[in-house]
Structure 1
Amino acid sequence: MKLNTMLFKTIILLLGTHVAGCNKYTSPEINQGLDEQLPGLYEELYDPIADNGQYNLLEMTVKPARYWNCVEVLNVGSRNNIGESEEIRGLQYHLLCQSLAGLANRAVQDGRSQVGVWLHDHAGRASYSLSKQALSDMGISEQGMQSGIELARNNYGPSDGIALQLKDLFEGYVLTDVTNNPESNTVASVASSVYNAIIVDVRDQANYDQAGYKMVYDATTKTTADAWNEFKDRVSNKALVVMPVQTGELRDFAIMHNLFVLNVNKAYNNPAAGQNLPLFEEILQWLEPGAPIYGWEQGVDEEVFVNRASITGHVWVPNDWMYNLPLTSLAYRERQEQTLAQVTNPQFIDWEKDKKFVSFYLTDGDNIQWMMNDFVGEYYQNADVSDVKMGFGVPVSNLTQIAPAQFNRIMGLQNREATVIEALGGGYQYVDNFGRENNREARLAEVAGRVASSMRQHRVKLLGLMAKDAKSADAQEGYQAFIDANDQLEGIVVLQYAPYAGGGGEIFWLRNSAGYDIPVVTVSYSLWNFGSQNHEREGTPAYIAQQLAQQATSDFSIVAVHAWSAFRDTGNSTDLLGENSDGDLRGASAAKLVKKHLGDDFEVVNPQELIWRIRKQYKPEQTEQYLNTYY
């Protein structure tokens, strides 16, 4: 009966009577009585683009008429140096440009200007080129290219009734001394927003005094704690930016949105020089419930700051080395497109195969700055992706807001053999402790609902999560929240922090709102370069292949591929450590080394197919019932 039904519906499709995306037919005669009798088209199981309240990241909503392209120091090695003497080099210049962009774009948002500022990308990366093209597509034209020094000090006449001059928008400057007091950088980043003033360092102060600027705030001897005590009532608690001292990144975004900026380490990459962790705790309590945290810190175990953010119900958005966030995310709500993930139709899976099945899942997909930098070229379009059918974590719910143009590009370039997996549930958080100190049930429901809307609208079927203890009752409570929010979710893949393979491949079954049991699959092994040793369930390709061959407990395994680990091809060598030395094979190429070591009794499949095979193996009746509703 099912075969005849499928054949009939296929004939209808070939006749061109099917309307994509609605599971209906153009002919009322065909529609009548068939909706409940015929299965739907599996590939059409997704939601239309809509604002269902899932957009939680800050947004510049007013479009400028034009923008200056500021010759900045992005991708120039000196951009965060403190020893540069030339005025157009170093952290001093970087902060000037970031403050110019933040204040100019805020003036557009406030209706005081029609001209924004874009920080020029010297590397010519496609992600920023596309985001810049998106400005043009919105009718926003580039005025020209100028240095930050010129934009801050030069006079420009109007053009077509648009005031091009920027310096009239500012009240003066905030003074830093980044060489002798690294935290003056952080203080100035906050004071710049409060005082509507550009950031100038003592190195260049005389030039701005001569240009007619006045100092409105002196940050040269101030600490981050001083900034909090002075400005906590004058900044927004809708988000927080965490960035190291001796960096300029994200300052435009913080200034634009009047956010507090925090450095965890008081000296760059040096926890021993002192930390602002007690201050961080106070700020976490002050933030609006569920407020996102942008950025990252260097030289600190991520557990120290991500864990506290998670417990207090704040999701981390890792985007420390990202630029132009106010304009890459400009008016993102109205720029959403129905870009859909390629999916594996379970109706075409050969269930009769007698194999052990392995899937690979590339880690760190929550990392926005990686998505904007070398993710696509080095990893996503790796020539070995088809061979290993890689599962890619992608921050679907966040990237759609932060850089819609780059998100659309990533989805459009997906390899047909690969699987896109939402990572890691709205940003970086630990599902077993998220919101524990801040109304956990409400925080979980909020983030799960946001993630569900994004996944459903872009046909992403698998969710990747991180847990401190992947097997705990608290973790299962978290998994259930995401399953409750999304009855299109096919399965969850879980990493443990740490080790990533701490779940040992264990599978948990939790029921969704439609009555189907959804598998939550913990990572079995982790492909990770530890140098002179392997760890339990973590190590080289040869070691992981050996472990897979020796295991007798499961026919299904997910191997996490550590994004930053590289290996070399040692041929048929059985040396379990040799692949760690002097290698450059990452991502799919590293996974291919594992595959090469496996015997014929193994088959590599993409993570979505693995999830379906698990469902068919352990829940055959209800899986068959579900599949009968689609074809």
Structure 2
Amino acid sequence: MDFNDNSAFHSFVISDGDNMQWTMGEFLDSPLYYGNKDENRSPVSWTLCPINLSVVSTSTWNRFVTMKKDNSSVIEYGGGYQYPDEFAKNRPNREELLIEFARRMNWHFKKLNIKIFGFICKDVFSKEARQAYEIYAREIEGLTGMVAIQYSPYNMGGDIIWVKNNKNIEIPIVTAKFSIWSGLFDNPLCGGPDYIAALINRDAAKAAKLKEKKNPLSWTIIHAWSDFSKTAHSTDLPIKGYNASKISDQLLSPQVKNISLHELLWRIRERHYEHSTIH
């Protein structure tokens, strides 16, 4: 990575990868998702359930690994259907159970070479969520970072929470700045691929005018099931899943570079904690 590149950087992430039945079904074959046959695939990262797949359907996980593109990232989505802020909150030994859960995940993360943990919360900024983030950072070795989705709306403006790992290094939990989701008209940071591309470009243009302000490092969550084919006219393709990210990518200004989520997290770490990141 060229950390001297002062472009605006953005990542697109597809939701709902914790749906194991779907990932074992059409996910790897559908051109709308990982089965897309674009020769030069647009950078897009994927929430998945690697831990569960590697146990329940080894063939599915192995096939995914052979298909993975270098410009994509894999996010372990929740380690199962669990909310960090809700997990064991009515149990007297919540902290003990969180530690046990994190240590189980750590074993799998190391085996599968997973570097990003993602999850849905009812309240991303609650003290219960913060407690879970701190335990995850300490117990899951080698994390590049974490990403947090609010149950509704998915996007929380790109805010970042920092926690320390077991080496006393700050690890970011980054919320989505925008979401590509059909029909959520009351959310100004949510809309179709063209609308979100315009917001990303707007942020980059604003930063370029403020010389003292660094360019944006942000990401968008794409609702896996939203279909924009009837409302967008920039392509004849069904605008859903991967194609939604592709359309947004094509509409980004030259000031913005679309990158994998893994690279984005490293860039966020370098900007805030340059010494511990570079050295």
- Tell me the TM-score normalized by structure 1: 0.40
- Contact kept in structure 1, 2:237 and 2:243, CA below 8 Å: no
The structure with higher relative contact order (CA 8 Å, sep 6+) is 2
Inter-CA distance 385–618: structure 2 relative to 1 (3 Å threshold): farther
- Contact kept in structure 2, 1:390 and 1:606, CA below 8 Å: yes
Identify the residue that residue 174 of structure 2 maps to in structure 1.
521
Distance in 1 of aligned mates of 2:56 and 2:139 = 23
Do structure 1's residue 450 and structure 2's residue 111 form an aligned pair? no
Superposition pairs for residues 15-414 of structure 1, below 5 Å?
Answer: 349-378=1-30, 379-384=33-38, 386-414=40-68
Distance in 1 of aligned mates of 2:277 and 2:57 = 37
Do structure 1's residue 461 and structure 2's residue 122 form an aligned pair? no
Cα offset for 1:384?
4.5
Superposition pairs for residues 434-513 of structure 1, below 5 Å?
Answer: 434-438=87-91, 439-501=93-155, 503-513=156-166
Distance in 2 of aligned mates of 1:536 and 1:362 = 20
Inter-CA distance 373–596: structure 2 relative to 1 (3 Å threshold): same
Identify the residue that residue 225 of structure 2 maps to in structure 1.
564
Cα offset for 1:367?
0.6
Inter-CA distance 386–494: structure 2 relative to 1 (3 Å threshold): farther
4+ residue runs over 6 A deviation = none
Distance in 1 of aligned mates of 2:85 and 2:15 = 19
- Contact kept in structure 2, 1:385 and 1:588, CA below 8 Å: no
**1:71-114 deviation digits (Å, cap 9, x = unpaired):** xxxxxxxxxxxxxxxxxxxxxxxxxxxxxxxxxxxxxxxxxxxx
Q: Secondary structure at the match of 1:484?
A: helix
Inter-CA distance 579–471: structure 2 relative to 1 (3 Å threshold): farther
Inter-CA distance 602–463: structure 2 relative to 1 (3 Å threshold): same
Q: 2:73 aligns with which of 419, 434, 437?
A: 419
- The amino acid that maps onto 2:171 is I
Which runs of no fewer than 5 residues in structure 2 stay unpaired? 208-214
Which runs of no fewer than 5 residues in structure 1 stay unpaired? 1-348, 570-576, 626-631
Q: Secondary structure at the match of 1:380?
A: coil
Task: Pick the structure with greater CA Rg.
Answer: 1
Identify the residue that residue 251 of structure 2 maps to in structure 1.
597
- The amino acid that maps onto 2:199 is Q
Q: Secondary structure at the match of 1:504?
A: coil
Number of matched residues?
A: 267
- Contact kept in structure 2, 1:431 and 1:475, CA below 8 Å: yes
Distance in 1 of aligned mates of 2:182 and 2:38 = 19
Identify the residue that residue 68 of structure 1 maps to in structure 2.
none
Among all aligned residue pairs of Structure 1 and Structure 2, give the percentage whose two residues are the same amino acid: 32
- The amino acid that maps onto 2:83 is Y
Superposition pairs for residues 607-622 of structure 1, below 5 Å?
Answer: 607-622=261-276
| Cα RMSD, aligned residues only | 2.2
Inter-CA distance 539–385: structure 2 relative to 1 (3 Å threshold): farther
Q: 1:547 aligns with which of 178, 189, 199?
A: 199
Distance in 1 of aligned mates of 2:250 and 2:67 = 26
Cα offset for 1:412?
1.9
- The amino acid that maps onto 1:364 is D
**1:338-372 deviation digits (Å, cap 9, x = unpaired):** xxxxxxxxxxx111212110001110111110111
Do structure 1's residue 537 and structure 2's residue 189 form an aligned pair? yes
Q: Secondary structure at the match of 1:617?
A: helix
Cα offset for 1:597?
1.9
Inter-CA distance 456–402: structure 2 relative to 1 (3 Å threshold): same
Distance in 2 of aligned mates of 1:389 and 1:618 = 24
Cα offset for 1:578?
3.9
- The amino acid that maps onto 2:216 is D
- Contact kept in structure 2, 1:567 and 1:583, CA below 8 Å: no
Cα offset for 1:510?
0.7
